[in-house]
Structures are given as C-alpha cells and as structure tokens.
Structure 1
Amino acid sequence: MNSPDTSSTPPSLDANALLRWRQRAPAHSPWLHEEVGRRMQERLQWIVKPPQSWIDWEPVRGGMAAHDLVQQRLPKSQSWLLHAQPAHTVLAKQRWHTSMLSRLGGAKAVQFQPPKHEVDMVWANMSLHLAADPPALIRQWAQALHAQGFVMFSCFGPDTLVELRRLHAKMGWPAPAQEFTDMHDLGDMLVAQGFAEPVMDMEHIRLQFPSAERAQQELRELGRNLHVGRFTGLRGRQWHAQWLQAVQSLAGERGQLEFNFEIIYGHAFKAPPKMKVSQETAISLKDMRAALHKSQA
C-alpha cells in the first residue's frame, strides 16, 4: 500500500495510525455500519435506471449484510467486492459462498478482482471518513465509473460523538477521536474530482448503552482514536477507571448513556468529459458519444 499524501490528509488525522488500524481492524462489519448500509440501500428505489454493474468498496468493514440487501434489490446486476487487505478478500469470498444468495445461484454475479471495464455504480458504505487522502479516494471512485455512472456513499460527520468530545474538553483530555469532514466540504471534493451536482444530506443516529463499558466496546469495534493530538502513550488502569467513571456520569435518569453519530450520505453522477476547444479541436469517439448521451439525457 502506498503512503498517503499528507498534504491532502484531514488536519486532525494521524495517517500512520490510520494505516496501522486498517491493517488490524476486525474483519467484520460493525452493527452501526450495517444499519447505515440498510438505510442507504433504500435510496436506490429513487434511481430511475438501476445499475447493471457495481463495485462494493470495502464491504467486510462497510457491511456484508448491506451488500446482500443491495444485491437483492439489483438481482440482475454484476458486482465486485474490492478490499485493500487481502485477508478481507478471503473472508468476503468465504462469506459469499456460504450465503443464501450464493445458494440461490447468484455466486456467478460476484467477482473479487477489480473489473476490467468501467461500472455503473460505486457503493462505498462508511469508508470515506477513514481515508488518509479523501480526494484521492474519490478520484478512484470516479475512475471506476463510466460517464453516466454514479457513486453512493456514507460516512461520519463532524457531530459524531459530540457528547464525548465535550466531556474530554471539560476534563482537559485530548480529543477522543479525529475530526470528521463537513458534508459541504465533501460535496466540493466530489466536484473537484470529476462528479457533477452532488446531492448531500445527513441524519443523526443516537445510540443508547447500559454502561460505559458497553459503550467503549462499541466504539472499539467502530475504530480507534486517530487524532494527531491524542495521548502519546498508553494510559494505566487508574486513568481507565477515571475515564469510565467520567463517561458514566453522562448517563440519564434511567442510567442509559446516549451518544450521537452524524451520518452523511452522498450521491453524485460522474461528470461528462470536458472537451477542450481551440481553432482545431480533436475529439475522441468515446468522448463525443458521452457528450451526446449527456445532452439527450
């Protein structure tokens, strides 16, 4: 894997820590990722022309059950499951070949190597906020799509874990997580990397936990604190007990802890190629067809 371009890295994200986390992340989909994927696939009903080919970007962490829901919604489509970690590709193969969809005869529609041609849709559930170079990742999505293809993605927004961030600030501790990018900035990135008129929206999902220990378990499944200003060394048992006590103090009257997760959804079509105009202009047949198709759409 190539080293990230630190000039494009989100300001509070430690790119090296992110690389270590991606190599060690649990090879399963967190519950919240699956729930976001379930909600996002419902939006496919508004697509006038269903995609016939699509790439699922990092589904082992992004949501394998969500992949099945998309596949059921698009039963005639061909899909590719792509992962940066070879071990995740192996697990994706194992899970697919033991799934109900596989037994029903859908296995031939799934591939695990990058497609040799451009596809109709890139599906990227809960991965963009863990990109060391978001513009580069968005550019990869654009390169995988044909001129009328589109991307659907989701990620965390800046109000994620706002309660925990306030607690850490009050206690004088470093931030509990890196900062997440605002949806308007993500929309600008999409346009800059070759997408047209992105549609962005967000929702808040509030999760309740019976204890600080259970909340910590869920947070560990979702990721790690990748903030460049986090504690530089390991905390001892005494500090851990203090942290649990402080978090537990946020509980409501019924003893339940409640944390907010801002979920950003994005949807954008790849922009048609721009044709340079001069006194003598050469236009490829591919670009002309794409431009004509766009004008007739």
Structure 2
Amino acid sequence: MNGLFDGRQVRRAFSRASSAYASAASLQHEVEDRLLEMLDFLALQPGRGQDWTPARVLDLGSGPARGAQAMRRRWPRAQVIAMDLALPMLRQAGVGRWHPLRRPLARVCADARALPLADDSLDVLFCNLCLQWVEDLPAVFAGFRRVLRPGGLLLCSSFGPATLHELREAFAAADAAPHVNPFTSIAEFGDALVQAGFRDPVLDRDVQVHGYASMGALMRELRAIGATNALAARRRSLTGRRRFAAAQAAYEALRPAGGPLPATWETITAMAWAPDHGAPMREGDAEIARFPARGIPVRRR
C-alpha cells in the first residue's frame, strides 16, 4: 500500500479490539463527552432552538456506537447512522430498547475517505478520534463538506503531535523504525478545515498526562483500543527482545521518583459549519467553487 497508513492493518487492529474497546477506551469516552456537550451550541443558532431536530446525523468512526446512541436519545426522531471501518465494532453496537418515537440506529461499514452518502444529506457529522488515521485531512474534510447540507454542523476530534511522545522517543533509542503515528497539529487541523471551505471554525486543545505502571501496561492498553502501529513503513517482523529492552530502559529513564511512567495525550476538538454552495475551497493557490449539479439550469430544445 502506498501512503502513510496501511488501511488493512487499521481495520484488523480495530476489529480485534472490538470486544474490549468499550471498557478500555476511557480517554476516548471523555473526549466524546466533550464533543457531545458542544451540541448545546446548536440551540444558540438562528432558527435552531431547543426543539430543533436534525433529519440525519452521522457518527463517523463510531466504534461500538456510544456517541450514536447518545445522539439518538437526544434526537429520537432523527435518522442516526453509526459508521465504522471495522465491521466487528459495529456488531458490538447495541440497538437499545425499542421506543415508539425513536428511529432505529443504522449501522454502515465504510471508510471515512469515501463516504457512501449522497450530497447534502447530513445535518450533523460527528467524528470522535478517528481522523488521526487519515493522512490527507483536506481531502477528507472536502468529503465532509460534500455530504453536509449548507449550514450543517461538523464536530470532530483528533490527537495532536504531543501524543505519546515519550513512547516515540523511547523506541527511537532502540531502532530507526517508526513505532508511533505522527499526529496533525492544531494549526494544520484548522488550516485543513479552512481549505475545505468550512466557516466559523472553533478549535480547542487539551493535554493530559496519564500514568502507567510500565511500558508494557501502556502498550496493552493501546492494543485493547486498537491503537497499534499501522504505519505502512512499520517493521513487519516482531520487535526483538533486545530492541524492546532498549526501549523499556529509555522509557524508564523518564519515570519520576516513586511515580508511574508518564504518557502524554494531546487532543484537538473542532466545531465548524458547512458553507453555502459556491463558497470556494482552496487547492494550492487556486480557489475552487462547488455547486450542486441539480442547481445548474438546463435549457431544453
């Protein structure tokens, strides 16, 4: 596979993690809850009071659909779609108890880079900690703009470049092969949103340091949530005992006296609005305007 990530490995890792993900992904749930709280801003938008209900909502990279279920409770009459690259993750998504006013949850196995949705078909696109697995962020945001109706809301999050820098540096002391994904900075994230034409973007950055008993404990947690090395340039053979021991020794040097090993997690959250048709997207030095084909008048002879 050409490119930064091996998509098949990403799918395999999250498929294997599907049964353990819900109980292991505490940080993912915390960031997801912050995104869900941002939905309260909808009530402040003109024409969108507390009673406003979107017609169609997408939870992209949904995993076992925790966010999708929360939005279905919030908007019981909306069509809520849980979409994930890993089919076993979607199979873990409980459909919930039947409710006479609540539409069933739709589950779709698909790739964020090629959304199988019609133009202008979404009112809300919610995407929690999925975009760090995408190498061409402007292209994905252009796809988001395509499926969102003008004025539709995009809520998304990703990891920033400080994430797991301790683990990256520890493995760098052992060999030259990449072991930790590179992550997009908040400035690059905002630029990609603007390049795709999204308006009024609001971005936030949060940094947390978690403690682990050992490097092995951190790596077991990463495997439990599917966050393993999926770089196309990764070493295909197992990390040998000598290299792993060297990485452990380098990581242990970061342990504070009497404390746990530190692991940094930088999260970026963003809220933005899809523009009206015809608003330009930037491609290099050019600005490209997009119009729906149905809006172009056809003269019949």
Indicate the TM-score class for this superposition, using the shorter chain for normalisation: 0.7 to 0.9
Please give the secondary structure, in 1, of the residue aligned with 2:255.
Answer: coil
Is 2:11 aligned against 1:22?
yes
* 1:31 is aligned to 2:26: yes
User: Deviation of residue 51 (structure 1)?
Assistant: 5.0
Which whole-Å CA distance do the structure 2 matches of 1:24 and 1:91 have between them?
15
In the superposition, relative to structure 1, how do residues 178 and 234 fare at CA in structure 2: closer, same or farther (>3 Å)?
same
Deviation at 1:171, TM superposition (A): 5.0
Note closer, same or farther for the CA distance 1:209–1:143 as it changes in structure 2 (3 Å cut): same
Q: Compute the displacement of 1:204 (Å).
A: 0.8
One-letter amino acid matched to 1:123:
F
For 1:133 and 1:284, locate their aligned partners in 2 and report how far apart those are by CA, in whole Å: 24
TM-score where L is the length of structure 2: 0.75
Q: Which residue of 2 aligns with 1:125?
A: 128
Q: Which amino acid aligns with 1:224?
A: T
Q: 1:222 to 1:160 in 2, by over 3 A?
A: farther
Is there any run of 5+ residues in structure 1 with no aligned partner, and where? 277-282, 289-297
Aligned 1:34-183 pairs, distance under 5 A: 34-47=29-42, 48=44, 49=48, 52=54, 53-60=56-63, 64-92=65-93, 95-96=94-95, 99=96, 102-105=97-100, 108-113=103-108, 118-171=121-174, 173-183=176-186
Deviations 1:42-101 (A, max 9, x none): 1111222355131011211xx633333333333443311123344444443xx22xx3xx
Aligned residues: 263
Pair 1:162–1:84, CA change in 2 (3 A): closer
Query: What's the CA shift string for 1:109-143, capped at 9, x where partnerless?
Result: 42235666612100011111101432332222112
In 2, are the aligned partners of 1:18 and 1:132 still within 8 Å (CA)?
no
Secondary structure in structure 1 of the residue aligned to 2:66? helix
The share of aligned pairs that are identical, in percent, is: 23
Contact 2:76 2:102 in 1 (8 A): no
Q: 1:209 to 1:175 in 2, by over 3 A?
A: same
Tell me what 1:279 maps to. none
Question: Going by fraction, where is helix more abundant, 1 or 2?
Answer: 1
Q: Which residue of 2 aligns with 1:280?
A: none
Aligned AA (2:155): M
Distance (Å, rounded) in 2 between the aligned partners of 1:70 and 1:21:
26
CA distance in 2 between partners of 1:75 and 1:108 (Å) = 6
Pair 284,208 (structure 1): closer, same or farther in 2 beyond 3 Å = closer
Aligned to 2:103, the other structure's residue is in SS state helix
Q: CA deviation at 1:39?
A: 1.8
Q: TM-score, normalised by structure 1?
A: 0.75
